[in-house]
Amino acid sequence: MTAITPLITLSQRRFELTARRPRELFVPLITPILFALVIAPALKVALHTGSAYESFVAVGTIGLLIPLTTMFSGLSVIVDRESAQRELLAAPVPRPFLVLGNLAVALAVTAFQVVALLGFALARGIDFHAGLAGLGWFLPAAVLFAVGMYGAAEALAGRVPRQEEYIARVPAIAIVPWFIAGALFPITALPSFLTWIARFLPLTHGLALMRYGLLGDSSGLHDIWGSGSSTSMALLSLAVVALFALVLTVGSIRVFNRTAVK
């Protein structure tokens, strides 16, 4: 028994509860896979774009998949509140472990889904040319963005009393930013005020980093930062996503403590 044993137990519990509801694993996959495999190829034909566009959109759909999956994971916090949360609060474990245990499983589920999406895309013939260095940008960007989004989900779940109210807020948090963060087209194609707003969205930075990592395409980073070396712009964007993850995680723990302990 170590100090980390309770955290492992909390993650195992969350995983077992998630595994009993397979829809939590597969439902968030449906829309992004439709985008990557059906809508992107259709747009390619309709707009007479090249195969690079399919790759562009395939990475862009990760920017939809991560928010959807993490927001779905946040629902379990509300379910817990109506079931075993009081038992967990009475347990001799630091309360942040209750949030971190959920986060670990949300990350695992998200990773499974991102790998599935990329697998489907590769099978469909969509091209990625990522080396080890590229993965070195892609993975931290995806993980940190998922951590931040889970923080948002946990904080929202802590503040709304019912599942219906939670679900009503999901589109504004998970879907609206996706349309202006450069998922389907470069942010410079937006009206200029929206381009400026997009530059402040963590998702814009996450997507630019993921494309830089998976496709070697730094145009998204240039659209955000202007000129500069690709590496320094990538580092700046990584810092933005890391800050997003840190602030949302700390914030979600604070919200949890405030709402769970009266």
Partner 1 sequence: MIEVEQLSKVYPGGVEAVAGIDFQVGPGEVFGLLGPNGAGKSTTIGVLTTTILPTGGTARVGGFDVVRQPLAARRVSSVVFQEPVVDRSLIGRRNLEIHASLWQVEPRAAKTRIAELTDALGIAALVDRPVSGYSGGERRRLELARALVSSPSVLFLDEPTVGLDPRIRQELLEIVGRLAEQAELTILLTTHYLDEAERLADRVAVMHEGRIVALDRPERLRRRLGRELVELKVRNDLGIALNALRERGIAGDDAFAIGSTLTIPLHDLTAHRAIDTINELGLASSISAREPTLDDVYVQLTGARLAAAA
Q: Among 4, 45, 47, 261, which residue interacts with partner 1 (rule: CB under 8 A)? A: 261
Residues binding partner 1: number (CB under 8 A): 26
- Cβ proximity to partner 1, 92 vs 125, nearer residue: 92
Using rule CB under 8 A, residue 94 touches partner 1: yes
| Angle separating helix axes 96-123 and 51-81, nearest 10 degrees | 150
Phi/psi at 160 (5° precision): -105, 140
Token pair belonging to 200: 């402040």
**What binding mask, one character per residue, do residues 15-54 give for partner 1 by CB under 8 A, x or -?**
-xx--xx---------------------------------
Judge whether 63 and 206 are in contact, CB under 8 Å: yes
Rounded to a whole number of angstroms, the minimum distance from the CB of residue 21 to partner 1 is: 8
| Angle separating helix axes 23-34 and 51-81, nearest 10 degrees | 150
The position carrying tokens 């959109």 is 57
Using rule CB under 8 A, residue 4 touches partner 1: no
Using rule CB under 8 A, residue 170 touches partner 1: no
Report the 3 state secondary structure along 123-165.
HCCCCCCCCHHHHHHHHHHHHHHHHHHHHHHHHHHHHCCCHHH
Using rule CB under 8 A, residue 92 touches partner 1: yes
Q: CA-to-CA distance for 99 and 217, rounded, in angstroms?
A: 35
Could you tell me which stretch among 84-92, 178-186, 211-219, 242-250 binds partner 1 (CB under 8 A)?
84-92
- Cβ proximity to partner 1, 9 vs 49, nearer residue: 9
Using rule CB under 8 A, residue 85 touches partner 1: yes
48: helix, strand or coil: coil
Using rule CB under 8 A, residue 163 touches partner 1: no
CA angle 234, 40, 197 (to 5 degrees): 45
Q: CA-to-CA distance for 54 and 57, rounded, in angstroms?
A: 5
- Cβ proximity to partner 1, 158 vs 177, nearer residue: 158
Closest CA to 15 of 5, 26, 3, 25: 25
- Cβ proximity to partner 1, 6 vs 151, nearer residue: 6
DSSP state of 201: -
Judge whether 132 and 201 are in contact, CB under 8 Å: no
Rounded to a whole number of angstroms, the minimum distance from the CB of residue 246 to partner 1 is: 25
Rounded to a whole number of angstroms, the minimum distance from the CB of residue 86 to partner 1 is: 5
Using rule CB under 8 A, residue 86 touches partner 1: yes
Using rule CB under 8 A, residue 104 touches partner 1: no
Judge whether 217 and 145 are in contact, CB under 8 Å: no
- Cβ proximity to partner 1, 86 vs 129, nearer residue: 86
Using rule CB under 8 A, residue 6 touches partner 1: yes
Rounded to a whole number of angstroms, the minimum distance from the CB of residue 84 to partner 1 is: 5
- Which residues of this chain interact with partner 1, rule CB under 8 A? 1, 5-6, 9-10, 12-13, 16-17, 20-21, 83-94, 260-262
